Structures are given as structure tokens and as C-alpha cells.
Structure 1
Amino acid sequence: MLLPNNLVFNMRFRMVLSILAVILIAEVGAAQTPAASISKPAIDPNGESGYRALLSRGYTPLFNGQDLTGWRNPYPHGEAKVVDGEIHLLADKKFFLVTEKTYSDFRVSVEIHLPEGPANSGVMFRCHVDDDAEKKVYGYQAECDGSDRRWSGGFFDEARRRWIWPSTKGRSTDQFLAHAEESQQFFATPRVRNALNRNGWNRYEITCLKDVIRIEVNGVETVRFRDATDASGYIGIQHHGEAGQTYRFRNLFIKELPEIPADRHVALTEQQPVSIKRINETVTQIDFGKAAFGNIVMPVPPGRGTASVHFGEKLKDGRIDQTPPGTVRYGMTPIRLGQQLGNWVVPAPVDTRNVAQSGLMNANPPAVLTPPAWQSVMPFRWVEIEGVAADFPFDLVRRRAAYSATWNDDASAFECSDETLNRIWDLCKYSIKATTFAGVYVDGDRERIPYEADAYLNQLSHYTTDDDVQMAARTFDWLMENGTWPSEWSPHMVFMAHAEWMYSGDTEWLKHRYESLKSKTLMHRSGDDGLVRSDEADQNRHDIVDWPKQERDGFVFTEINTVVNAFHIKAMEQMEEMARAIGKQADAEAFAARVKLARASFQDKLFDQDAGIYRDGIGTDHSSVHANFFPLAFGLVPAEQRDGVLSWLKQKKMQCSVYAAQYFMDALFTAGAGQKALDLILADGDRSWKHMADSGTTISWEAWEMKYKPNQDWNHAWGAAPANLLPRHVLGAQPRTPGWTTATIRPCPGKLMLAHGKVPTPRGPVEIDWTNKATFNLSLSLPEGMSAVVELPAPDDSTGVFVDGAPRAAIQRGDRWHVDGEVTGSVRFEVK
């Protein structure tokens, strides 16, 4: 039956239909531009790349490509045979080929090629078989509709309730007819109506998790529905019964859910207390020095009755705060006193939101689970054991803290002449380590789900703090299957793929994921001028700009806004670059043309010539910091306008959240205002990382202070941006070419007197040591197989660059000396 949240469901699709009105306009215009070839994923005609891609993403084949092992035909009619690695179905009456095994929660992927002429097929899932019935196979089906009706991707209930979404009179039960009009309108919109390639291969992806069902056709979501009729069943494929027709299927894969990445990629580390204090006659407080996700193991306390273990992130008046603000964590677990010998694990209390696999329809994807064998974990620094005698061996209590199994504390280092900056580095580096507990990047402990923007910031900082980083690629795959709703979060998936490629240089990994990224550029919302449109629902909910809302510097939302379009253009630029890297030259040229069009429109329509800065959007004269630092960070500001935008931004304070500050600081460092960036990082007041470090927290916060986000948590790695800003900009090491074959060394010293450190790369560490006194001196050590292009600060009175004591050709451009050629190995530079 349909669960009693029809109201939520119907409200959601009324909103979707308003969005699709904008999509209709956008796609009509885009059809006459190069966008037509790059607006949605393409499927390889021979299927080989799709096969390898699914294996790469952790899927298990349902079909071995050789025979029909694992499948059966419950009908007396119909023929199924294997031809060139495909399953071909032939019949003159309807039949289904089904798996021999049943499945419950999963994501299944199947490619279908319909025959010419009248044709109808589909993928059965959680379906049932009654060998004694005439209609032997019944249950859920994802429709593959070859007719002019074009309901491909629809949700059908074979031999039972028939059409669920869309629904239609005479072919649906009454409970589904309530949304007949809106569901049919939904399938009439171009993006959904044209999702199926009628004369080619089509990829169907169906996700079932608890009662939530999603269907996607060629990357277009056609169904998101709740139905609890079936919790498990078979997978099946259909021949509709047209005589002489051959239906073709290939690349049949499944990934059973839930995935628990920490099973293989995270280890528990037992940690001793830093201090133990008897609070009163019944309570002992244990401090582990820093917060971590975990639980405790302790000897069994003697006696009868029960005691309590209190876990907390925050103290109040010297005790664990049992009513902390926001999502700062506290919990209590009762324990039994007994006569047993040995130790037992005391699990942390379970927050149901952190294990939810199917939340509200229009809310969160599934939470990332931790291994059941661990028992439950939570972030805490202190425990208070209440009700255990004072002579108990509290020094034997251990915290079992969860960190990435490959984390290397010695992989990275940073130290400079400002002690506060050093404390900020320590805080932010540990924040990245502490939040690796789930095996993929999650948004702290409030929801324990990945979000695209959070994950990208985590990724940048993980690369600069650890030397064996596979978590970024895992998180990317997770988010491609469990995406969230904000507009700008979608292009972050392109950023994540590009960053992973630049870090690893792995073009095979990129090839397996490139096509799916086309749906993440927001191209489907762009018009014939190349700019993305935002309808009312986008402006009210999907367009984030910054979070929480009060951090938006008064941003005015309009149909065409600067921030969303800056993300769109940057994502397309990176898609062009990645397309060239994997040999997709036609795509690269199409992206390049689209970027050129969008850049021209962006500058013409969104730049205020009189003020010399960008407006928030078309139809407003308001200019927020976000409308200016995002374009500057993304390299979208023309050279002749850059100084004006930078000058304006240098007058501003930290008028954004800890998330957007990543981009604000990137913009300032890259544009030559490194000292301004350091001033903001180190500013007095409560809107800086200095304030965060001075607070005593040991993991970065989700916001600058509780008053800016009352529900914030204290274990949120998107607040740890200096973990990448300091190595990338102050030390100055960044990849220039994929896989760090070439690096850019571009230190931004500002007023700092010295800095030294170690930046991990897949080829080994880059070691940098510079002093900024009467002259600027830099010692650089590169790992084998890496060369570097070097850009050094150019003080006003400097005349040239010396390398290992000898003059070296260099060109001064603005405030930088660009050293001629590339260097390798260990090199000393001096700017005189």
C-alpha cells in the first residue's frame, strides 16, 4: 500500500512541475547549441566501457556474459539466449526472465535496447513468481516504453495495481489517480519525455532502500516514490510478446545495500586517558584530550545494580554538559555491575537520525552506517563514569577511536612564525583525521550523510594532510548514487572528479565516471545565452549561495543569479579539460563553445560597469561578497576588471560562512591578496579560525559560532579549510598537471617571517622551507618524478632570482617573479 505521506509526495511534485516549466524553456533554446551533445550521459555502443565502469564502482554482475547461470524462465514459452555478451529475449507472448536469487535493498543497473517497431519492456524488481499462476511474474516494474506515449522510467505494478507513477484512469487503482494529472504532466516535460533513446541503448538504474523507490533512465530521475508493498523479491527483464521482436539486455549489475565503507577502510584505535579526576563520591571524569568518534572499553565494574557512562563533547562548570546547545553531543549509556572478569565495550547512545536509511521523501539520502561489530559510536572527548567505586582502575579505561585505517600523522607538516596560525593548522589537520571515521566524508554527526560541497572541502584538505587518500574517490561514487538537492552542490561533483584526477592522474578512473558527470553541470537549466535559470522553487530552496541563510551577505535571489552561474561555468570548464584528457574531443569542443557563450553572457549581464563589481543577479543592484569572490576564485573575472573586484573585496570582513570562506580565501590568495586572507583567518572577534582555535575545540565547527547556526555541530570538517589553504597557498604547493607530474610552487608569505612544512602527494612529499626577511629565500625538495614551475614573491626593490647561488632567468609579472623553466630535486631560491 502507499504510505500515508501522499501530501508530502504531491507537494513535492507540484514543486517539480514548476521547475520543469523553466527546464522546458531552457531545453528548447539549448537544442540549437552545442549543449545538445553534452546535456546528458552517452552510452558506449559496444557496452565495454559501461561494464568496466560498473565494476569500478563496486557493482556485482547479475549476468556473466557467457550463459544464463543465475536466471530462469518460469514460463512454458519464450526463449532467452546469450549473443555476444548480451541476453536476447524472443517470444510471441509476454514473458519474464528472472533471477534465481531474491534481493531486498539494492541499486540495480540494466542496459536495454528495444527493437524497432511496436515494443515495450522493463525491469522487474522486488518481484514475485507464482509458478502455478497464469500470470506467473508480478510486482514492481520500471517501464521501458517504446510507444509515442513515452512513459519510460514509469513505475508500474505488473499484474496487480498497474500504473503507479504516472497514473491514468482505467489502468490505475483509485489511490494513485489522485496524482494522475500531475504525474502525466511530469512525463510530458522534455527532460523526462526524451530520457529514452528509442533507437539505442538505455541505462536503467533502480534503487530500493526500505520503502523508498527511485528510477533513473539515462541519468534522469523519473520516479522517487514510497511504497511498502514489497520489501524483497527477484530481478527480472521482460519481453512484451510481440512476435518476431528481439529485446536485448546487457550490463546487468547490482549493488546490495546498505554499503558500510568503514568495514574495510577504518580501524579502531585504543587510546589512554590524558587525565582522570574524581569529581565527587560517585563520579569520575576521564579526559581523552581531543574529541573523536568512538566508544569505550573498560574492565567490568564489581558489585550489583547499575552504573552510568556519560559521553560528551562539551564541559559546563567543570562537568560534561548534559544539555548542550545545537547538535553538540551528549549521551548516557547504563552499564551493569557484576562479578565477571575481563573487559566489555560500552557503546555510545544511538541517535536514530544517524542510522536512518529512508527519511522524508524530499529530505536526506541514507545515513552512512558504521560496522555493527563496533557497536555504536559518537563524538566525545570526556566520559564521566557514575556509580562506580573510587578504587576502580579507571586508568584501564580506553577509548576506541575510529580513524581511516591508512591515516599517517607524519605525512604532512606546517609551521610558521605566527603561533596562532600553527594552532589553527593543528586544529584543522586533526579535524580531517577525526572525521574519517565513516570511511566516506560525512557532514559531522547530526545526519552522518555526505553532502557534495562538504565532501569537496574535505577532499581538498585530506589531500594536503594524508598520504594515502582513497576516501575522496569512494565518497564521489557514494554521492553520484545518493545526491542531495542544492543547485551548487551538483557542480561540486565535477569539482570532486577534477580534483581526484589532478591528484591521482588516473584517467581510467575518470573515463568510468565522465559520462555521468554531464548531468551535474546544470546544463538542463541553461538557456540559449548559456546562463542557468532559477525558478521560484530554485530561488526559495535549491539555490544555496551560502549556508546558513543569514551568512549570505544580503544576497538577492533572481531568475539568473551570479553564484549559480559561476559554479555552472567553472564546472563546464573542468568538463572540457577532462573530456580532452580522455580523448572526447567532440565533447571538449562543445563544452568550450558553451563556456565561451556563457562567459560572455555572464560578463555582459551580471557585471555592474559603473560599480566595477558583480551584481547578485539580473534584476537587482545589490552586490554581495559571494557574487564577487566566487567569480574571482573561479577565474571568471576578466584581467581588466580583476583589480576593481579585488579592491572591493579587500574592504570586506568575513561576511560568509565557514563553507564559503574556502572560496573567499582561495580568491584572495590567488589574486595576490594573501595578507588580507591571513588577516581574516586570524581576525579578532567571533568570525575567524582564530576564534575557533581559541575556543578550545579540538574538531572544527560547522559555523563560526552557535549564534550564527543554533543547530550546528562541533565535528564538521567543512570548517577545516585552513588544512588545505595553508599548504596550498602559504607554503604554496599545488598540482599543475594530473598526478602531480608537475607542481606549481607559489608561496604567499604576506607578513609572515618564515614557514616550513611537508605537503603529501602520490609521488612523495613536497618539502618547503622559506624565510621572508631582507630577502626571500626558499628551499624546495621535490620527490622523484616531479618537476615544478616556481613563482616567487617580488618585493618592490627586488631585481632578480638566484637558484643555488647562481642568477636565473625570471620574468616579473605584477608582484611575482616567474622563474624560467622547471626545476627538479632539491633547489634553493633567493629573491634579491
Structure 2
Amino acid sequence: MTYRSFSFLFSLLMLVGTSLGQDSQTASILKPVLGGDGESGYHAMLSRGYKPLFNGKDLSGWRNPYPHGEAKVVDGEIHLLADQKFFLVTEQKYSDFRVSVEIHLPEGDANSGVMFRCHVDDDAVKKVFGYQAECDGSDRRWSGGFYDESRRGWIWPSTKGRSEDQFLRHEEESKAAFADSTIANALNRNGWNRYVVTCVKDVITIELNGVQTVRFRDATDISGFIGIQHHGEKGQTYRFRNLFIKELPEIPAEEHVALVQQEPVSIKRISDKVTQIDFGKVAFGNLVMPIAAGGGSASVHFGEKLKAGRIDQNPPGTVRYGMTPIRNGQQLGNWVVPAPVDTRNVEQAGLMNANPPAVLTPANWGSVMPFRWIEIEGLADDYPFELIRRRTAFSATWNDDASSFECSDEMLNKIWDLCKYSIKATTFAGVYVDGDRERIPYEADAYLNQLSHYTTDDNVKMAARSFDWLMENGTWPTEWAPHMVFMAHAEWMYSGDNEWLKHRYESLKAKTLMHRSGDDGLVRSSEIDQKRTDIVDWPQKERDKFVFTEINTVVNAFHIEALKRMAVMASAIGKNDDAKAFGDRVELAKAAFQKALFDDAAGIYRDGVGTEHSSIHANFFPLAFGIVPQEKISGVLAWLREKDMACSPYAAQYFMEALFRGGLDDKALDLMTADGNRSWKHMVNSGTTISWEAWDLKYKPNQDWNHAWGAAPANLLPRYVLGAEAGSPGWTSVAIRPNPGKLNYARGRIPTPRGPVEIDWKNESTFTISLALPDGVSAKVDLPAADASKDVSVDGKNVDATKADGRWILNDEISGNVIIEVK
């Protein structure tokens, strides 16, 4: 048995200076609200891949090991009645899983819980014992606590007389965590509550209504039953519904990724013992090769980087190298040569503060890694090297012809090719992962990946799959939580699927950072937030000397943008009261944001309250999110125009968005193609075939070379240079707004769920654009206007258009195939 208190959880919850108003309007958007009849929750769980533990009709699969207690099904719920404590338990045992149960406590004295990995001794008086997630109806408010029923007592929080000595070591810390309002108020005492318990190896996590209450390591039990409790109060009825389980690990690639065999691009004999094979581009995979006859052994070296013409066997950072030994034999056929296993890429339960589980690839593949070159040492020169194939993992539905981009700047064309392939190559896991260092999804990484997947492929179900994965396996940075709101909004705008959104809407309330906001609407950051969890940019040296304070500009910009998108989504699914509450909160926070954080004398934003420093991040994030008042935009843009790429490839997504939306397309394109080592031009000139995590190893020595968040131009060029974005959910309408900068022409294809949008524009003495829209899709068109331009024609006929801020905006929407000219 091992244990360790999760002090980091407590640190995150101890917030400084917040006093969030608890009026009914605010309370409705602060945390998830479970529907009255439970039906929406039932379908939501099914849509996320969960299996019902209760069929809603009878108690099949459940049993009561006690001679007392009654369990019955009433209107799709399990009702427990008793005058002595008892547990209803499953007939099947489970090991690693995520279980979700909704509980409604009766009024008055009440206590219940969810048993997991528990045990049954039919011959004992206390027949059911083991792990329990507590549901506490008393004023003590320990709901979500970790209890060991009829065995070791309270684990987290712990208390004298009811916990073993080993758990009393963290008594003060654990009680303080449960005294914090975030956990203490997590239970809805008079309504439904959702418990989610996750067990992965010896790591146990408990969540209550979207609030993580426990993360603890204990190896006492690795499998057992699931159970629900009646505490024994006579006359009390305990209600349970929507009991679901998802057995772990999930391996998305089993259904959604295919192995493709690729021939070598070149084969070169290095020496009498070594042959080097180049597959042209880096990809995730392994090898299949003919079995060599005879005895002896050989070695296969896999490499992502060359040094002096040979595979670099000691590469920097997380650039990959590995070696797999092979033994010659007499049998006929082929070897499948797996790549070496990096334990971090398969880790399901690491150290206490470690990441969520790594995304696994199918066992029958053999292990895979990113590599471009192999060197085979020990095979004779008459071996049929030309028959070696790389087995490469790509999304099974990837379509190379779904998208295209070409313009008058050849470097931008190369950047597009690099970034598009980067998105394809990183589909190997079936969900978006951060690269090959940990192979886990991160929220910000996944959002940037999602945007670029939409613009490069025409089957993008991986985006919704990645969203669901991250909602269950979130990571620690502050701004990564609002990215979940961004991901949901982007998926809804792409698909237009209101049902998908309805099933996930309530859970998003825990991702807006409202629990850290004060009565003025602004988010506060505790000392631990300022030192660790507030990201701003990553790695730390890419923050343009950002100064962290209790109220900082970047965190609050993300908070406001998350609230704005929540308001839009709430309205779309008929949650009008929520939409108003979110909208009101946006206006409150925006007013406080402007008053507290804008430097009127300088005309730009400070990093936070209490500092006079202004980083580019404190200015381009508000600009990208549309928070800057109209009369202040020009000043912020003028300041940013003079700045270089003082941010990472991640933050550059938002920096470029701010510049394009502000009309500084020439500046954005110049930064993308700038000389030096802080641009995508540098990546291209380096010879890499997948985008990097950082601009260069000097900025992040442990970076990997297969990171999709470095591929932002894959979405920026179609969205802003070609100029096509969804104008309404599901692409029923399109917003066409090209930003040519100094380019003479651009053409390409943007995939949508309704078919491709084809764009071909020329920026010469006049601006001419040819559009081909899918059937049933209309477009609102906004085109660049030269100072001398007088009117706009569609297919040769003048049309009504309004000229404003250097743009021509067509008054009427267009459809079909048209040619528009600004004259």
C-alpha cells in the first residue's frame, strides 16, 4: 500500500481576493446544472462512449448481498429504501475505468456514496467494504471525499478517530481543501449531483459536479465491484440515475487510424556494414522488412535528425532516435520491426503530479515512433533493401485532395506544405496529442490542431473525439481550461450540431474560470497561479518579459472570450437565461478589464494590475478576442506593428489573428516569412518535415520536432489570406474576407461539411476574386478596396456595396459560382 497527499490540488483551490457573487443568475452559470428528468444526461453519456451500468428498466447486472434493504426501479431511476445501511452492487468486477453516477439525496439526515473497486463478503455482517466516493448531506460538507468503507476509514480528508495514522499526516491539508468554497459548495444539496470516479492503476480521482475533489495514489485494490449506498435512515429514499462506465484504457487509433506502407525515397550504402534509407518525410510508424537468411543479428536505427550525413544517435531535446535489434532466421516471410518504446509515451499512471494517461496505440501494431531515416547495421549488401517498407500511421479517413493553397510567395507555399503535412502526420493516435514527448492531449495544443484540421481535411471527427478525451483528462495550466470552451464552439461552428453541443454544454461551465472571478468580473490569480499555472505563453522565455500579478491581462482576456462563446452557445440551444447571464458577466468583466488594465497614457494594455510593463501578449490576446474598444484599436495595432515575433508558435496563432483582423496582413505575412530563427521560414529552411514545438532548440532545449501547435499557418492561410470562415454554424453561410497583404494572387480549396469552397483571387490594378460555393451555401463578401476604387461588380454587373475602413462590403449575400471585381 502506498499513499501521498495531493497538496497541489489544495494549492490550486486557495484563491486570493475573490468573492464571487452568488446571486441566482451567477449561480446558474458557475457550475453544471443537471436536467430534471435525466434523459439528456443519459444520451450525453452514450454520445461520449460510455456503457450503461443500469438499463433504466430493471436491476439486471446488480444485486443486494444483504437480507435487508429494498431496491426498485422508478421512472428510470434506482430507488433505495431501508432502515439499516446497505449497498447495491454490480455483479461484474472492474479494474481501470471511469464511472459516472448521478445521486439525489433525500431531505433531512442523509449520507450516501459511490463504491468502486469494492469487495463483497456474503458471509460477513459488513458485507460490502472498500473504496467509496462520499456523498455527504450534512453541514460538514465532505462530499467528494475518499472513504474506505468498513476498513481504513477516511483517507482524504482525514480526521482523528476515523483515519489510520498514515492518513493523519495530511489531516490539516485535506480538511483545509474541503473547507475551501469550491469543494465545500460543489454538492447541490437539494438536487441531482454527478459523481465521476476514475481509476487508472493506483491513481484515483474523484470529481463532483465538475470539481475535482480528490486525486490520490493508493494501491490497496486494483479491481472490484461498483456500488451505491443507502445509509440506513428509516423512511428515506435515495435516488440514482445515469449510472455509466467507460473501461480504460481507450485506444482511439484502433478504430480511426490506418497503417500505410511507404516505399523508400532513397537507399544508400554507407559502408560494408551500414545501409541508410530515407523515407522522405518524418512520420509515426515502424518497419516491415524481409527476414534475412542465416544466423547472426543486425540492428535497425531509427532517426528523426541527421548529423554529418548520419542518423544523429544523440539528438537534442525530444528529437527522436532509437535502435531495435533483429535476429536473422531461416523462416520465410517478413519481420515487423517495432520502434523502441519510450516509457513516457505509454505511461498510464506516473508520479502523483504527473500528466494524465498517455494515448496508447494498438498493441498489434508494435510500437511506433516518429522517424524519417533508418540505418540498418549488419546486413550484407545483397539484402533486398528495396523491399523494406515503413508502416506509417495516419487518420484512416485523411484526404490529401481535400485542401490546397498556392500564392505568389513561394516561401508561403512551402510553409503551407509543411504545416498541412504536420497535421496529417500527427493524426497517428486517433486524437490530437502534443507530439512525441508525452503523447497526451493538451487543451491549447488540441485547439490549434483542431483549427488546422478543419482547413486541411474533410473528415474531422477527430476534433470532437479529442474534445471528449480532454474533458475527461484535463491538464493543469490556467488558460488551457477556457480552450475547452473554444474547442466546443469551434466544433459547433463547423458541424452545426446542436445535439452534440447540448450533451456537452453544462460540463463547459467548469472551464470558464468563473470560480476564480470576483464581484467585478475579473479573474484573480493566487501566488501558486502566478508562479506556475498561469501560462501566458510556453516556454517561459517566450513571454516577452510578462509580469505576473494577481489580476493579469492575458488570463482575463481568455476568461472574457470564454464567457462570450458560452453566451452564444447557450442561446443556440435554448438556454436563454444562461445566455443573458453570460452576456451580463461579459459586459461587467469588459468594463473592469478596460478600467484596470488599459494604460491611457501609452494607449496599450499593461500586463496586469500593479505593473507598468506591457508585453505583446497583453495586447494581441485582447485584440484577437475583440475586447479592445473600437476607439482604442488603432493605437494597439500601431504599437504591435513595431514588434517582432516575441512569442512562441502557440501564441503566434493569436498574434497573427490579431494582425489579420486588424488589417495588418502585410505585417502578419512578413512575420511568417521573416529571416532569422523566429518564423516558419526558419522551420522550412531547417529541412524539417513536421512543424516544431518552438522556433528553435535555443528557445526550448527539450522541444520535440513533431508538434501540431507549430502548424498554425495551416489554418491562418485559408482563413485569412484566402479569406474563408464559417459565417454560421454548419457552414450554412460563409464569411469571405481575403487579406492579400503584398501578394499578387492566391488560390485554394477549403473543406467544409457541405463541400469545398474554391477561391482564386488576383490583387493587381484591380482586385478580382473567383468564388465557387457548395450548393445551399451563401456568402457575405468583404473585399480589400484600393483608395481609387469606385464600385464592385458580380459577373460583370455592378452591385450595391458599402466602402468603409479600406474595404468593400457587398450589401447582399452571393451564392454559386461567381466572379467579383473591385474597380
Query: Which TM-score tier does this pair reach, normalised by the shorter chain?
Result: over 0.9
**Aligned partners of 2:721 and 2:313: how far apart in 1?**
40
Of the candidates 431, 441, 451, which is equivalent to residue 432 of structure 2? 441
Deviation of 1:32 after TM superposition, in Å, equals 4.2
2:144 equivalent in structure 1: 153
Cα deviation, 1:91-118, whole Å, max 9, x if unaligned, reads: 1111111000000000000011111111
Of the candidates 528, 536, 552, which is equivalent to residue 545 of structure 1? 536
Q: Is the 8 A contact 2:403 2:749 kept in 1?
A: yes
Q: Counterparts of 1:173-188 in structure 2 under 5 Å? A: 173-188=164-179
Q: Counterparts of 1:366-765 in structure 2 under 5 Å? A: 366-765=357-756
Q: Is the 8 A contact 1:13 1:182 kept in 2?
A: no
**Aligned partners of 2:563 and 2:188: how far apart in 1?**
24
Cα deviation, 1:462-520, whole Å, max 9, x if unaligned, reads: 00000010000000000000000101000000000000000000000000000000000
Amino acid at match of 1:73: N
**Aligned partners of 2:251 and 2:282: how far apart in 1?**
23
% identity of equivalent residues: 75
Q: Is the 8 A contact 1:412 1:464 kept in 2?
A: yes
Cα deviation, 1:254-303, whole Å, max 9, x if unaligned, reads: 00000000000000000000000000000000100000000000000112
Cα deviation, 1:154-202, whole Å, max 9, x if unaligned, reads: 1000010010001100000000011112211211111111111111111
1:295 equivalent in structure 2: 286
Q: Counterparts of 1:329-344 in structure 2 under 5 Å? A: 329-344=320-335
**Aligned partners of 1:214 and 1:14: how far apart in 2?**
14
Deviation of 1:14 after TM superposition, in Å, equals 5.5
Matched, 1:78 2:65: no
Amino acid at match of 1:253: F
Q: Is the 8 A contact 1:657 1:704 kept in 2?
A: yes
**Aligned partners of 1:30 and 1:368: how far apart in 2?**
40
Amino acid at match of 1:812: K
TM-score (norm 2): 0.99
Deviation of 1:34 after TM superposition, in Å, equals 3.6
SS of 2:138's equivalent in the other structure is: coil
Of the candidates 4, 10, 14, which is equivalent to residue 20 of structure 1? 14
1:2 equivalent in structure 2: 2
2:274 equivalent in structure 1: 283
**Aligned partners of 1:499 and 1:181: how far apart in 2?**
43
**Aligned partners of 2:233 and 2:213: how far apart in 1?**
26
**Aligned partners of 1:377 and 1:274: how far apart in 2?**
20
Matched, 1:127 2:118: yes
Q: Is the 8 A contact 1:34 1:593 kept in 2?
A: no
1:61 equivalent in structure 2: 52
**Aligned partners of 2:765 and 2:9: how far apart in 1?**
66
Deviation >4 Å, runs of 4+: none
SS of 1:30's equivalent in the other structure is: coil
**Aligned partners of 1:587 and 1:45: how far apart in 2?**
16
Matched, 1:245 2:274: no
SS of 2:326's equivalent in the other structure is: strand
Amino acid at match of 2:248: L
Cα deviation, 1:357-401, whole Å, max 9, x if unaligned, reads: 012222311000000010100000001111001000000000000
Cα deviation, 1:584-611, whole Å, max 9, x if unaligned, reads: 0000000011000000000111000000
Q: Is the 8 A contact 2:7 2:173 kept in 1?
A: no
Matched, 1:97 2:88: yes
Amino acid at match of 1:435: T
SS of 1:714's equivalent in the other structure is: coil
Cα deviation, 1:55-111, whole Å, max 9, x if unaligned, reads: 010000000111110001111111111111111111111111100000000000001
SS of 2:437's equivalent in the other structure is: coil
Amino acid at match of 2:333: G
2:192 equivalent in structure 1: 201
**Aligned partners of 2:264 and 2:15: how far apart in 1?**
60
SS of 2:42's equivalent in the other structure is: helix
Q: Is the 8 A contact 1:94 1:241 kept in 2?
A: yes
Amino acid at match of 2:322: G
**Aligned partners of 2:6 and 2:136: how far apart in 1?**
24
**Aligned partners of 2:642 and 2:792: how far apart in 1?**
33
Of the candidates 786, 806, 811, which is equivalent to residue 815 of structure 1? 806
Deviation of 1:813 after TM superposition, in Å, equals 1.1
Structure 1 portions without partners, runs of 5+: none
**Aligned partners of 1:413 and 1:532: how far apart in 2?**
41
Amino acid at match of 1:51: Y
Amino acid at match of 1:328: V
2:786 equivalent in structure 1: 795
Structure 2 portions without partners, runs of 5+: none
1:38 equivalent in structure 2: 29
Deviation of 1:800 after TM superposition, in Å, equals 1.2
Q: Is the 8 A contact 2:15 2:524 kept in 1?
A: no
**Aligned partners of 1:716 and 1:198: how far apart in 2?**
45
**Aligned partners of 1:220 and 1:751: how far apart in 2?**
50
Q: Is the 8 A contact 2:15 2:525 kept in 1?
A: no
Deviation of 1:711 after TM superposition, in Å, equals 0.2
**Aligned partners of 1:135 and 1:10: how far apart in 2?**
30
The 1:116–1:33 alpha-carbon spacing in structure 2 relative to 1, beyond 3 Å, is closer
Deviation of 1:557 after TM superposition, in Å, equals 0.2
Deviation of 1:20 after TM superposition, in Å, equals 2.0
Q: Is the 8 A contact 1:208 1:214 kept in 2?
A: yes
**Aligned partners of 2:521 and 2:185: how far apart in 1?**
21
**Aligned partners of 2:24 and 2:513: how far apart in 1?**
15
Of the candidates 325, 339, 343, which is equivalent to residue 348 of structure 1? 339
Q: Is the 8 A contact 2:10 2:174 kept in 1?
A: no
**Aligned partners of 2:738 and 2:105: how far apart in 1?**
58
Amino acid at match of 2:656: M
Matched, 1:828 2:822: no
Deviation of 1:674 after TM superposition, in Å, equals 0.3
**Aligned partners of 2:549 and 2:289: how far apart in 1?**
58
SS of 1:295's equivalent in the other structure is: strand
SS of 2:14's equivalent in the other structure is: helix
SS of 2:162's equivalent in the other structure is: coil
Q: Is the 8 A contact 1:324 1:330 kept in 2?
A: yes
Q: Is the 8 A contact 2:20 2:515 kept in 1?
A: no
Amino acid at match of 1:787: S
Cα deviation, 1:721-770, whole Å, max 9, x if unaligned, reads: 00000000000000010000010000011111111000000000000001
Amino acid at match of 2:290: P
Matched, 1:266 2:257: yes
Q: Is the 8 A contact 2:744 2:763 kept in 1?
A: yes
**299-308 or 698-707, larger mean C-alpha shift:** 299-308
SS of 2:406's equivalent in the other structure is: strand
**Aligned partners of 2:387 and 2:41: how far apart in 1?**
53
Q: Is the 8 A contact 1:755 1:770 kept in 2?
A: yes
Q: Is the 8 A contact 1:633 1:670 kept in 2?
A: yes
SS of 1:273's equivalent in the other structure is: coil
**Aligned partners of 1:231 and 1:702: how far apart in 2?**
37
